[in-house]
Structure 1
Amino acid sequence: MKNILYVLLVFFIFYSCTKKKEVELVFLDEYVVKDSLEINNSFIGGLSGIDYANGFFYFVVDDSKSPRFVKAKIDIQQNKIKSVDFKNVFYLNDTTTAFYNENFLDLESIFIDKETQEVNFVSEGSILKGKSPSVFATDSLGNFVCSYTIPDYFIPNKIVKLKHNGAFEGSSNSINGQGFWVAMESPLIVDGDEPTFKKASSPIRITYFDKESKKATKQFAYQLEHITKPSKGNINLNGLTSILEYKENHFFIIERTYQSGYGALGNIIRIFEATADETTTNVLDIESLKETVFTPLKKRLVFNFEDVRGELTEGIVDNIEGISFGPKLANGNESLVLVSDDNFQLYGKQLNQFILLEIVNK
């Protein structure tokens, strides 16, 4: 009997030590910045991407007529957002190079290079105008520094077909510090169908760029969820809005479903954990995922905003388009700060909404 108990004890200890800890996200707080807040002759709105570096938060503004980014302090105390204090606005109007004039800057994401302090941007371009998505870096004032070479299948032409407003959307520094990730919002037409109410293959591409070579060196496919809420209006879509590598080859990915006909309640926002392992296919050199057998990133739902609607302003889950690490919490756990793009209120009432989450390992 003692031997049996000993074996069971050893097995329990071994199982406890080897069992993979699953990450969970816990809602802590919401903070809403008032409408029409102005700083440096710029209204605060259209906040489409977020990053945290050197004690400051950086936000990219989704305004192709006046591309810019904003620097701010967010005071987090006792698991609450006490204030959001916008400090500076920086416009991308460098005239010493032709890059800004030659490219359509529809900025969707921002990340700070922790080594060089360069500010990096992801732009989805304008497919209707034949302007490519792009990835480029500026100095701290917004002056152009360099751009990255993107694979040919991201460059719109008579052969390559991308969805307008569905190209590059999210980005994240890599944990290894040697590169970064850029994610599509929607599938390439040659890769799969856009999500509908039917379960279909809707893979988007998540591409790793190497900082030294300034080229893409690997890429994973990620399958978007289908739409689950009944249709009321003529807009029913689901896509990726943001990505964050929180551990090597482990990502938090935000999917946003938007449906017209529901008013201010038209968004369904979910956060998934996506993981790459030795079975995940590197699809960088595959021109059409429709015609190829591949293994996408594994995914698991870790947070659904439907579960916290009752704790949000008027039950609104707004257009969440940015996710970033924040400062460590008092208990030592990592925090996440999320931000919504209010589209400058062009489509009705929306919020400059900030969300504070906690990363918990179970």
Structure 2
Amino acid sequence: MSFHGSMLRDSMLSFALASMIASAQGSNVELTDSQDGAGRRVTACEFIGEVTLPTGYAFEDTEVGGLSAIAYDASRNLYLALSDDRSKHDPARFYSLAIDLGDGHLDAGDIAFTGVTRLRSGSGSVFAKGDIDPEGIALAPDGSLFISSEGDASKSLPPFVGHFDRSGVEIQRLPIDAKFLPETDSGVRDNLAFESLTVSPDGRSLYTAVENALLQDGPEATVEAGSRSRIAQYDIETGREVGERIYEVGPVADRPALGIGFATNGLAELLALDDAGTFLALERSYTLGKGFRVRLYQVQARDAEDVSGRFSLQGDGEADRPVRKALLLDFGDLVEMVDNLEGMTLGPVLPDGRRSLIVVSDNNFSAGQFTQFIGLALTIDDAPRPDRP
């Protein structure tokens, strides 16, 4: 999701959170592996640093901004950061960058941009203005890329998940079920479509998700109530969708001043931790005049109901089994000011054996915002699955 700069400038100038702590730990969800019965869970998260870049920062004649997603290529020790520029400022693109975590911390000078790759259609042409809204990026097992686009529901431009080669050329698009296509009374909401994108560690499954409920599934998130989004799972070998699960997005974190003004909360990113439906989830809330609240959750989808056969989720919600989630941390407890955090990826193992997590913000190319990289160290435990009926 992108927010318009004029909407944000006034609120961001006055928005700051004062509480800062060095580490955070939250409730855990049992993480199970369907193959051998072992469980995985994040048992601790520690803040290891922050780097910010000002709006207007340039690299190779492009403006670095709108970083909506990030992926780590372990084979090259390289990160790929996707800009959600709809070819308005510069052609749609992703950046290659190196992040030095050799000392176990993320500090000024640790991030270096090394390349920029323009996205191109199958014909080899860069995408025209408005033809793509890049929001998610994930690395395929063969080193190629999956990229999701939110489309533009206001113009009946559908969202899509595309398969791209490493040079940025689109190879093909995955089929999208009709329930997601923007129509008058059904499909994705404008600017609340395919934001998340992640590949399971075994390389067999690709997951994407809408930020809020489809029009036919229920209302979008408000201060009073959340919204039921869908997580869609694809079989990478066949390219076909094989299931959908309900993810219950929480209510908007803060009420607008005087009770009026723009406010939203949405599922901004998913990150697969194992092959059995265990994820990290990033929920990003924004309220005009209050700023951003971003929270990290641990999610288990293994026992959730498959709702792919239901065009609408309304009518029998009591019978639904959504994914389970538990709060790990609120980024407002880690840094003084939280920007529009939208992307995250696991990085290399740190010197002390913990796993790094990098989170990045989309600055909306707004002068009142900035590009923010936040580093976390995760303790991820493998343990036997407890006996249960």
Alignment of 1:118-129 (within 5 A): 118-129=144-155
Structure 2 counterpart of 1:43 = 63
For the residues of structure 2 that align with 1:21 and 1:95, how far apart are their CA atoms? Answer: 41
Structure 2 counterpart of 1:334 = 355
Which has a greater percent of helix?
1
Once the 2 structures are TM-superposed, how far is the Cα of residue 361 of structure 1 from its aligned partner? 3.9
Structure 2 counterpart of 1:174 = 200
Structure 1 counterpart of 2:298 = 273
For the residues of structure 1 that align with 2:79 and 2:39, how far apart are their CA atoms? Answer: 35
For the residues of structure 1 that align with 2:255 and 2:184, how far apart are their CA atoms? Answer: 35
Alignment of 1:153-172 (within 5 A): 153-172=179-198
Structure 1 counterpart of 2:264 = 237
Structure 1 counterpart of 2:163 = 137
Secondary structure, aligned partner of 1:306: helix
For the residues of structure 2 that align with 1:19 and 1:127, how far apart are their CA atoms? Answer: 40
Residue segments in structure 2 that go unaligned for 5+ positions in a row? 1-37, 382-389
Q: Residue deviations 1:147-183, cap 9 Å, x none?
A: 1001111111345243100111011111231121001
Matched residue count: 332
8 Å Cα contact 1:197-1:228 kept in structure 2:
yes
Matched to 2:123, the amino acid is: T
Using CA pairs below 8 Å that are at least 6 residues apart, which structure has the higher relative contact order? 2
1:359 aligns with 2:387: no
Identity fraction in percent? 27
Secondary structure, aligned partner of 2:332: helix
Q: Residue deviations 1:31-65, cap 9 Å, x none?
A: 11244222221011110100000210001111112
Once the 2 structures are TM-superposed, how far is the Cα of residue 21 of structure 1 from its aligned partner? 5.3
Matched to 2:250, the amino acid is: E
Alignment of 1:237-256 (within 5 A): 237-248=264-275, 249-256=277-284
Q: Residue deviations 1:300-326, cap 9 Å, x none?
A: 000111212xxx3xx210100001011
For the residues of structure 2 that align with 1:299 and 1:36, how far apart are their CA atoms? Answer: 37
Assess, with a 3 A threshold, how the Cα gap between structure 1 residues 132 and 30 changes in structure 2: closer, same or farther: same
Matched to 1:256, the amino acid is: R
Structure 2 counterpart of 1:289 = 313
For the residues of structure 1 that align with 2:40 and 2:136, how far apart are their CA atoms? Answer: 31
Assess, with a 3 A threshold, how the Cα gap between structure 1 residues 267 and 101 changes in structure 2: closer, same or farther: closer
Structure 2 counterpart of 1:15 = none
Assess, with a 3 A threshold, how the Cα gap between structure 1 residues 44 and 20 changes in structure 2: closer, same or farther: closer
Structure 2 counterpart of 1:349 = 368
Secondary structure, aligned partner of 1:223: strand
8 Å Cα contact 1:109-1:170 kept in structure 2:
yes
Alignment of 1:289-308 (within 5 A): 289-292=313-316, 293-308=319-334
Structure 2 counterpart of 1:149 = 175
Once the 2 structures are TM-superposed, how far is the Cα of residue 291 of structure 1 from its aligned partner? 2.3
Matched to 2:337, the amino acid is: I
8 Å Cα contact 1:29-1:79 kept in structure 2:
no
Structure 2 counterpart of 1:61 = 83
Q: Residue deviations 1:269-288, cap 9 Å, x none?
A: 0011110233x101111111
For the residues of structure 2 that align with 1:86 and 1:21, how far apart are their CA atoms? Answer: 32
8 Å Cα contact 2:253-2:285 kept in structure 1:
no
For the residues of structure 2 that align with 1:212 and 1:327, how far apart are their CA atoms? Answer: 27
Assess, with a 3 A threshold, how the Cα gap between structure 1 residues 186 and 99 changes in structure 2: closer, same or farther: farther
TM-score, normalisation: structure 1: 0.86
Out of 33-42 and 134-143, give the one that drifted further.
33-42
